[in-house]
Structure 1
Amino acid sequence: MLRLQAFPGRLVIALFLCLSIGAGGAAVAAEQGEAGYRAVTTADSAIPVDQLRLMLKPLTTDELAVEADAWLALLKAKVQEISDAELGVRRKREEIAKVKETAAAAEEAKEEVLQSRPAEEAQLLEKKAEEARAAAEAEEKRRTALVEGIGTLRNERTGLLDRLEVVLKEYELKGGDPASYRKYMTAVSGVTVDVTDASAAWLTVKGWLTSEAGGLRWLKNIALFVVTLLAFWILSTIVGKVVAKALDVSKRLTALLRHFLVTGIRRAILVVGFVMALSALEINVGPILAVIGAAGFIVAFALQGTLSNFASGIMILLYRPFDVGDAVEVGGVSGTVKSMNLVSTQINTSDNKMIVVPNNSIWGNVITNITGSDVRRVDMTFGIGYADDVAKAQSIMESIVSSHPMVLKEPQPVVKLHELGESSVNFICRPWVKTADYWSVYWDVTRSVKEQFDAQGVSIPFPQRDVHIYQENAGA
């Protein structure tokens, strides 16, 4: 019975040989194209990738198609070997299960014989049970060896996939269409784990983790991915600092534009680094970039308002109507510019509210930069009564303005009688100050004028209305 059970294993081996010979013949047939060109790069299926690239450089599109077919035939043959080996593992598992059932049946029969039959017959059954267990152990070892052999075959398949991908890249670069090849490669790549067979699944996972073409390769790729990202992050930081120092020399660039340029350069370097890091994970970034381009075209229509803000942000950066820290009136909002990006501007109001204004609202309306110049004029108006001394009032205001330490001598301050109002004679008082001192001077001068007018008997009238009441006699 044991010899009969071993027979399927030999049948599987014979089947391997037949299929390998047939696949080899197919590979040879694929090496010759329609024009008589024969594939030359498949002579050594383990050829180094860099050497393969050099051999492919002079080939035409038609010749590359022949090379791709030849490598595809080798890949197909290897996939067939893997499939046959996996089929053999499953059959081995079934054989082992049958042998174990036989051993279990012999054990049960032995127990029954010990109770009703002679000891010789029980010993015979014990011997058969031991033989069945030994056969099961032997088959288990063969199955383990077969599973480990599948790991080796998968490594060889990975090598063929890598080399076929090199051929397809060159083929695509010269105008060929590798879509059908890549679909087949995607379909036959990867590792299939039979979760119903715990021991085989563990051996498969363990073999993949410890193989050069499996876990070790991906560990190296992930490490390279992380190192690439880290290197480009460090590079972006260094370049950003260098660019910032270089831009600080220019007096014509605003802080907003400097921040935009530094941030844009850093982010561009990070994007390039991320794309290169993806290639380290063996991800084809070409289709990803194509998808991003198509998506960007669609998003452009969906976000027209945002793009308008983006364009307005660029115009603000180029024409520099204001900078960070300037006091402005834009888009119906008054306050200090806190920060800006290409979409919006953050303004901090005098009562400490943070308001985000779209750049389109800013650029499409009047922009008032209150602190755009280093020097500002403080415009104030003071009124006196019609009965007061005009010269005395003007002298008081001129004295207050000229004695204030923050008022500039040039341009000279102006104090003039401006108009005759309904209730008062109005003077304009216009000293020049540094922009940072505007409100200090405004408040100081206003307070001093009130105090001096009160001290020297100059009145400050307020609007008033006289009401006259006329009484008429009832008999009139």
Structure 2
Amino acid sequence: MKNIVTALLLVLGLVLAMPLQAQDAAEPAAEEGPTFPAVLTDTGLSIEEMKLRLIPLTVDQLEALAQEWLGIVQTQTQAVADAQIAVLNAGDNAPDALRTRVEELSDERQRGFARYSLVVDGYQKKGGDEATVDQFRAYRTAIIVEEKQNADLQTLATQALRWATQRDGGIQLGIQVGTVVAAFLGLLIVAKTVRGFARRGFGKVRNLSKLLQAFLSLVVYWITMAFGLMIVLSMLGIDITPVFALVGGLSFIVAFAFQDTLGNLAAGLMIMFNRPFDEGDYVTVAGTGGTVKSVSVVSTTVTTPDNQVIVIPNSKVWGDVITNVTASTTRRVDLVFGISYEDSIADAQRILEEVVHAHPLVLSDPEPVIRVNALGASSVDFICRPWARSADYWSIYWDLTRQVKEAFDAAGISIPYPQTDMHLHVRNAAAAATLTGPEASGDGIGRPKGAPDFGTGDDGADADSGDGRD
């Protein structure tokens, strides 16, 4: 009976000890860290398959895999270093077999580094520690730089030649560069085609100015180019995320460095959306008159009547008074004609009306206005205000100016020029009589008889008064 009890106690002790042993056995397994598929450490795994297998992994798994690949490339680097030492010890008489061995090991290590970099990139994209990422990449960079610095010229030339002829080396780079160039040229054609369609589409929108049509078409063009380039780069496996980060960082610097340019850009957008003028309009802006040739996002180009091309910053255009001469279909021609005070006002009025109504380009509606406007110092001034189409303004202006002058000449109506009548007051009546009497000089030259002989510098005062006053 005692033996039976002892046996039962032993069995009970073993049963109780089994969970503890199982827990102790499980603890080391838990400390091993995250696991990953073993195939991911295969050096013969293709890059394309490895990219797909890395997608489901977590950050911890990628970090552990990166550590594993770090050990792999370290082993490969040690093999390359041993082969290079053998070549170095052999000196100039090193057999080709040794150099070939170095090249083969370097190629193998290069393939290992490609997969190692792929794992590190995936680790970074999924939020891995930046300091750890820098350490991973610094190891690869340091290895490559040190080997190139310590290698002899023949080894470097041989490695460069082998890299250039390898499909995953120079050939792949050439294919990528060619693809980018061909894609860029194709994008130019596509973007221009899209811009043409966009411009025709914008042209069908009512109340959309030519300037705004050109601007929106340009925006469509550059958006097409940007998206096209991003798609091409992504297809080539190039990470474009750093580009966006770079653009975001540079935007603040550009904003401060190009304040004036940004001001012109804002003014250009205001011009395009508010449409104070359009292409082909004759305007006066910033003290310059001319026909609008084009408007970009930063400047306005106008052509003066004498064919000068003037480029004006948009900030000056929008910040100044804008006079659009051709905005209206009709304009009033303002003319002023003066006649002598001795001429007939009624005859001048009749002649002006006849000349104006006889011109074929003058509009009958609104009715031309012809009125006496002012009694000037030398003439009686008429205003003549016919209406014309904007395109006929200068033709009517020049024609009427000539025709009115010719009509006035034919009717004996003079157009006076400024003149002054001088009236003289002479105290000596006898001397005054000689100015108009028979004793006055007939040729108008010299001093009339009896007139005082004033000396140079005399103020004109009479000798008996002393002050020149009565």
Using the size of structure 2 for normalisation, the TM-score is 0.77
Match of 1:248 in 2: 203
Deviations 1:187-222 (A, max 9, x none): 345795579845433322221111122111111111
Cα distance change of structure 1 residues 425 and 411 upon mapping to structure 2, 3 Å threshold: same
Pick from 59, 74, 87 the counterpart of residue 57 of structure 2.
59
Cα distance change of structure 1 residues 346 and 263 upon mapping to structure 2, 3 Å threshold: same
Q: Is the Cα–Cα contact under 8 Å of residues 356 and 362 in structure 2 kept in the other structure?
A: yes
Aligned length: 400
Pick from 414, 417, 421 the counterpart of residue 459 of structure 1.
414
Task: Give 3-state SS (helix, strand or coil) of 1:288's partner.
Answer: helix
Deviations 1:16-37 (A, max 9, x none): xxxxxxxxxxxxxxxx995632
Pick from 371, 396, 410 the counterpart of residue 326 of structure 2.
371
Cα distance change of structure 1 residues 145 and 303 upon mapping to structure 2, 3 Å threshold: closer
The worse-fitting range, judged by mean Cα deviation, of 191-200 and 440-449 is 191-200
Matched, 1:39 2:33: no
Distance in 1 separating the partners of 2:82 and 2:261: 58
Q: Is the Cα–Cα contact under 8 Å of residues 233 and 270 in structure 1 kept in the other structure?
A: yes
Deviations 1:153-188 (A, max 9, x none): 2442354245325533xx423455333323333334
Matched, 1:439 2:394: yes
Pick from 172, 181, 184 the counterpart of residue 125 of structure 2.
172
> How high is the sequence identity, in percent, across the aligned residues?
38
CA RMSD of the aligned region, Å? Answer: 2.8
Cα distance change of structure 1 residues 351 and 458 upon mapping to structure 2, 3 Å threshold: same
Distance in 1 separating the partners of 2:335 and 2:179: 69
Q: How does 1:97-116 map to 2 (within 5 A)?
A: none
Cα distance change of structure 1 residues 181 and 155 upon mapping to structure 2, 3 Å threshold: closer
Q: How far has the Cα of 1:251 moved from its partner?
A: 3.6
Cα distance change of structure 1 residues 267 and 188 upon mapping to structure 2, 3 Å threshold: farther
Match of 2:258 in 1: 303
Cα distance change of structure 1 residues 189 and 446 upon mapping to structure 2, 3 Å threshold: same
Matched, 1:325 2:322: no
Task: Give 3-state SS (helix, strand or coil) of 2:194's partner.
Answer: helix
Pick from 231, 235, 249 the counterpart of residue 294 of structure 1.
249
Structure 1 or 2: more helix by fraction: 1
Q: Is the Cα–Cα contact under 8 Å of residues 407 and 433 in structure 1 kept in the other structure?
A: yes
Deviations 1:122-141 (A, max 9, x none): xxxxxxxxxxxxxxxxx513
Distance in 2 separating the partners of 1:470 and 1:274: 94
Match of 2:370 in 1: 415
Match of 2:81 in 1: 83
Distance in 2 separating the partners of 1:335 and 1:350: 6
Cα distance change of structure 1 residues 34 and 288 upon mapping to structure 2, 3 Å threshold: farther
Q: Is the Cα–Cα contact under 8 Å of residues 86 and 150 in structure 1 kept in the other structure?
A: no
Pick from 143, 149, 158 the counterpart of residue 104 of structure 2.
149
Task: Give 3-state SS (helix, strand or coil) of 1:408's partner.
Answer: coil
Larger radius of gyration: 2
The runs of 5 or more residues in structure 2 that have no matched partner are 1-28, 429-461, 465-470
Using the size of structure 1 for normalisation, the TM-score is 0.76
The worse-fitting range, judged by mean Cα deviation, of 179-188 and 252-261 is 179-188
Distance in 1 separating the partners of 2:220 and 2:290: 30
Task: Give 3-state SS (helix, strand or coil) of 2:391's partner.
Answer: helix
Q: How far has the Cα of 1:76 moved from its partner?
A: 2.8
Distance in 2 separating the partners of 1:69 and 1:33: 18
Matched, 1:424 2:422: no
Q: Is the Cα–Cα contact under 8 Å of residues 84 and 102 in structure 2 kept in the other structure?
A: yes
Cα distance change of structure 1 residues 190 and 424 upon mapping to structure 2, 3 Å threshold: same
Q: Is the Cα–Cα contact under 8 Å of residues 58 and 126 in structure 2 kept in the other structure?
A: no
Pick from 48, 69, 72 the counterpart of residue 70 of structure 2.
72
The runs of 5 or more residues in structure 1 that have no matched partner are 1-31, 97-138
Distance in 2 separating the partners of 1:192 and 1:217: 23
Letter in 1 for 2:71: A
Match of 1:357 in 2: 312
Letter in 2 for 1:380: L
Letter in 2 for 1:267: W
Q: How far has the Cα of 1:269 moved from its partner?
A: 2.7
The worse-fitting range, judged by mean Cα deviation, of 51-60 and 64-73 is 51-60
